Structure 1
Amino acid sequence: MSTLSLAAVLAEAARRHPAKTAVVDAFGRETYADLWRQALAYAAGLRELGVQPGDAVALVAPNVTDFPRAYYGILAAGGVVVPVHLLLTPSEAAYVLRDSGAKLVVCHSGLLALGAPAAAEAGVPVVSVGPRPDEGGPERLEQVSARVAALRSYESRRPDDPAVIFYTSGTTGKPKGAVLTHFNLVMNATVNTFDANDAKQSDVVLGCLPLFHTFGQTVGMNGAFRIGATLVLLARFTGEAALDLMVREKVDVFHGVPTMYIGLLEAAAGRAELPQLRICISGGASLPVAVLERFNAAFGTTVYEGYGLSETSPSATTNQPHFGVRAGTVGHALWGVEVEIARAELDERIELLGPGELGEIVIRGHNVFAGYLGNPDATEQALVDGWFRTGDLGTKDAEGFVSIVDRKKDIVIRGGFNVYPREVEEVLARHPSIELVSVIGVPDDVHGEEICAVVVLRPGTDPVDEAALITWSRDQLGKHKYPRQVRFLPELPMGPSHKILKRELRRMLTD
């Protein structure tokens, strides 16, 4: 019987590069050998607390070294990691603990205000990691681990055993637990590192994406460790803080979502020294071409935009050096992954479309998840004829470049015409006074829905009002596409991975 563990990503890096710096945070730096030794000590402590192979263990931690230390400790013990979204309320986090069947919560001492009440509500024991909490707090995993001998090696698992359960955002009801296997996640880290990108062991990677999120965890942390690079962690992203840290630590690889690229551009203005970025990868949401062009010019680099979901480990496609880069697309499918376009209106079967035709993006390959935990109905809807239905609309051209048009649920239907917000956003992003824009549909008595652009203005530019923006966009877009309403906000609502929350915008503007 073959075995495989995601823990091998760190174990093998420690074997091959023991003295190399694995991770840097605000409190110090750890070599690969030390980080793996600490993970094995944590694993023994978890065993002492009753964690058995296959048990779910929730992890509540920010972007500090305690995250990979505990993450790989859980995996080494044979456990299944359940990363907890740090912006949840304690009651929302308690739902995740109950739904996942978590046997234990490992909580960073700085986040006990979230982890402790969630654990209490769910009836799950909790241990802390990191700086010593106040007296009377939960038992510390470090103390438990010190009482027992560290594990000699990691507990190996079957390739199709669960490794991580990511909880979706729950835009259409309660969050669902997407079950990712050891095979899914080892392959995604490996293919991202060795096939899709020109990654090198000498890379210094900025880890500013939340590690509890699939992009930061797989592409950032696991990808860096897979090749033996150095991961520099930033607990709270701002453009200024990221630039300072990248210059100080000589970071040359950046992974981010579009709003992070915008933040870096804003912070870069007037700076004498910028980081020398060799690889920049964008994902999580569509990157406006105008922003990509500005960033490439300002930093003298190339942004490689990609695409994926929690259910696809996450990477499915990316612009790759081997195939060339095409701005406005998310590139080609990863090695061993098939990405096609299917007829969107057919729910019960997959009917593939030809080059250039618009439909739903469907995916199959080593990256597709095992299903939604305890939810066979949702799994059956998502996995059809061996393909994963993404819910995203797009096209694939004759050369294999995939383009994202929009989420099926974000389409605005105005007077019977489909309007794709991303197309409108791409145009508005080129206006010199606009820093950030999101387009949504709002209820309208005449047209059913009306197009509304929600805008953050760029500091230091000429002021512009609603009428002027509407007039400008009317000249750039078809009559059914240009926004009839413009709302100005000082900032847009963001999720923890700095993705714009359109559902929150709709709530703000329609309640």
Structure 2
Amino acid sequence: MTNLAGLLVDSAAAHGSRTAVRQGATALGYTELDDLSACAAALLHARGVRPGDRVGLVMPNIAHFPVAYYGILRAGAVVVPMNPLLKAREIAFTLRDSGTRLVLAAPAAQQETAEAAATTGTACLVAEPDAFEALLAATEPMPGVVDRADDDLAVILYTSGTTGTPKGAGLTHHNLRSNTATTAETLFHARPGDVLFGGLPLFHAFGQTCALNTAVAAGATLALLPRFDPDAALRILADDGVTVFLGVPTMYTALLHAGLPDGFDASRLRLAVSGGAALPVEVLHGFEQRFDVPVLEGYGLSETSPVAAFNPPDRPRKPGSIGLPVRGVELRLVTGTGEDSAPGQVGEIAVRGENVMAGYWNRPDATAEAVRDGWFHTGDLARVDEDGYWFVVDRKKDMIIRGGYNVYPREIEEVLYEHPAVAEAAVVGVPDGLLGEEVAAVVALKPRAHATADEIREHVRARVAAYKYPRVVRFTDALPKGPTGKILKREIVIDPAGS
């Protein structure tokens, strides 16, 4: 079966009585999850959703997420997942750009999603726990799974660089099925007895492929945590018997410094996986010593489904390295002109393989710029050592990674420019010991205008998700510019503790 929802159908047939998803006291077996997803598919169909339609999903890591996710896929539709922390204007952009027909929202995201849906004329269904379950129970399940071709879209993940508006990376059923199989079979060696930690956001490629789809493909259990908290994560590690921990560097740092509860036992933990940003070597070693488990780093992007490289579990790993290209994927280093970089030299990572997206939704120009001769150009710079291991050394793009979340400066700058006192603004990342990077804004005010740092912060905070607004705000008479008037971010130097 080509449809990605076939992962659940197959595991329900093979592991029906096993627990598929656990969230606190809620546990769904594979048979139950399969049945609920079939009811969700029928519910969507009854509301006019047809194969190829886009369906938005605005939910945290709760048990309803996989029900809705596989239900959308089962109906032959395309999942458009969104961060439940987004504000209405951000959700509205995604709904409008993707042409979403209907959006499903968790109660916590109801207000912002409903406002966005009203703005765009999109149907909205709020998944209130009791009401949603009653609605599913009253719906006759959809028989079978809608057939889809390998190159039909399964998911559109919205991402962007530092220029332009967010772009929807279109991932096909084949992209996601193959990357999931590679992750489950060759990287995690996942099996039915495994329990995977589900603290990575499922609206993101890392959480979707490496946690949700990998767990389902293996017939394993996914232990969900709606919002990461180190104490809650430790309880899940011990109480649920987690065997595979997946996290971003800030999660590792938090767990490394958290106090262990009395009687803490994580002896079932056999593997820890890190991605999303570079994991400091001292944190890696500290985590391994504290939890007695190897930590393996990998690399990927939304556009690559996401896994492109990984430290293979059956070979020596190198701390600080993203490892080797994974099965079905090729990597090369290229110069600014697209030629192969000289041996030993730093170059831009280009990726080719079964994991590379079909393209950006309705953005042929952006697709042509990013994917050339079948190679996706990542914008990340790397080097390769004598053993063929890859090391990311920098990012060409100005994207900020704050606590594992991507923050795109251009988006925040647009909001800053909406403030009546702001003449010029630039957003950059500054080092942060806990989060990796913090968002900083440098602002030049209009003549005779006045604004405080708190006012600027609150202006942005009211208009974007909480992780995006600049905690650091600095004022300047004028921003540095080049001959053409372009702001030169490389010349902006900020002391986070200074003024």
Instruction: Give TM-score, length-normalised by structure 2.
Output: 0.80
Q: How does 1:56-71 map to 2 (within 5 A)?
A: 56-71=54-69
Structure 2 counterpart SS, 1:178: strand
Quick one: distance in 2 between partners of 1:227 and 1:195?
Answer: 12
Partner of 2:328: 336
Quick one: distance in 2 between partners of 1:86 and 1:319?
Answer: 32
- Asked if structure 2 preserves the Cα contact closer than 8 Å seen for 1:204 and 1:229, the reply is yes
Does residue 1:375 correspond to 2:363, yes or no? yes
Partner of 1:409: 397
Tell me the amino acid that sits aligned with residue 246 of structure 2.
H
Q: 1:315 aligns with which of 303, 307, 312?
A: 307
Distance 1:452 1:6, change over 3 A: closer
Quick one: distance in 1 between partners of 2:339 and 2:211?
Answer: 35
- Asked if structure 1 preserves the Cα contact closer than 8 Å seen for 2:162 and 2:398, the reply is no
Quick one: distance in 1 between partners of 2:252 and 2:36?
Answer: 34
Does residue 1:115 correspond to 2:113, yes or no? yes
Deviation at 1:118, TM superposition (A): 1.2
Quick one: distance in 1 between partners of 2:301 and 2:233?
Answer: 25
Q: 1:385 aligns with which of 343, 365, 373?
A: 373
Partner of 2:459: none
Partner of 2:233: 242
C-alpha RMSD of the superposition: 2.8
- Asked if structure 2 preserves the Cα contact closer than 8 Å seen for 1:355 and 1:398, the reply is no
Deviation at 1:11, TM superposition (A): 0.8
Partner of 1:352: 340
1:281-304 residue CA offsets vs partner (Å, 9 max, x unmatched): 000001011110111111111000
Q: 2:172 aligns with which of 181, 199, 218?
A: 181
- Asked if structure 2 preserves the Cα contact closer than 8 Å seen for 1:274 and 1:299, the reply is no
Deviation at 1:200, TM superposition (A): 2.1
Deviation at 1:85, TM superposition (A): 1.6
1:41-79 residue CA offsets vs partner (Å, 9 max, x unmatched): 110111100000000000111111100000000000000
Residue identity (%): 44
- Asked if structure 2 preserves the Cα contact closer than 8 Å seen for 1:341 and 1:353, the reply is yes
Tell me the amino acid that sits aligned with residue 273 of structure 2.
I
Does residue 1:295 correspond to 2:295, yes or no? no
Structure 2 counterpart SS, 1:231: strand
Structure 1 counterpart SS, 2:397: helix
Tell me the amino acid that sits aligned with residue 296 of structure 2.
Y
Partner of 1:161: 152
Does residue 1:131 correspond to 2:129, yes or no? yes
Quick one: distance in 2 between partners of 1:296 and 1:98?
Answer: 45
- Asked if structure 2 preserves the Cα contact closer than 8 Å seen for 1:66 and 1:130, the reply is no
Partner of 2:382: 394
Deviation at 1:84, TM superposition (A): 1.1
Q: How does 1:212-223 map to 2 (within 5 A)?
A: 212-223=203-214
Quick one: distance in 2 between partners of 1:327 and 1:499?
Answer: 32
- Asked if structure 1 preserves the Cα contact closer than 8 Å seen for 2:154 and 2:172, the reply is yes
Deviation at 1:152, TM superposition (A): 1.4
Distance 1:455 1:150, change over 3 A: closer
Distance 1:453 1:32, change over 3 A: closer
Does residue 1:48 correspond to 2:38, yes or no? no
Deviation at 1:500, TM superposition (A): 8.8
Does residue 1:306 correspond to 2:294, yes or no? no
Does residue 1:105 correspond to 2:103, yes or no? yes
Deviation at 1:156, TM superposition (A): 1.4
Structure 2 counterpart SS, 1:409: coil
Q: Name the count of aligned residue pairs.
A: 425
1:356-392 residue CA offsets vs partner (Å, 9 max, x unmatched): 2200011000000011101111111100121100000
Distance 1:109 1:451, change over 3 A: closer
Quick one: distance in 2 between partners of 1:48 and 1:31?
Answer: 26
Partner of 1:226: 217
Deviation at 1:406, TM superposition (A): 1.2
Tell me the amino acid that sits aligned with residue 373 of structure 1.
W
Quick one: distance in 1 between partners of 2:2 and 2:48?
Answer: 22
Quick one: distance in 2 between partners of 1:169 and 1:59?
Answer: 19
Structure 1 counterpart SS, 2:193: coil
Distance 1:452 1:145, change over 3 A: closer
Partner of 1:136: none
Partner of 1:461: none
Partner of 1:34: 32
Partner of 2:82: 84
Quick one: distance in 2 between partners of 1:207 and 1:407?
Answer: 28
Instruction: Give TM-score, length-normalised by structure 1.
Output: 0.78
- Asked if structure 2 preserves the Cα contact closer than 8 Å seen for 1:83 and 1:212, the reply is yes
Quick one: distance in 2 between partners of 1:180 and 1:198?
Answer: 24
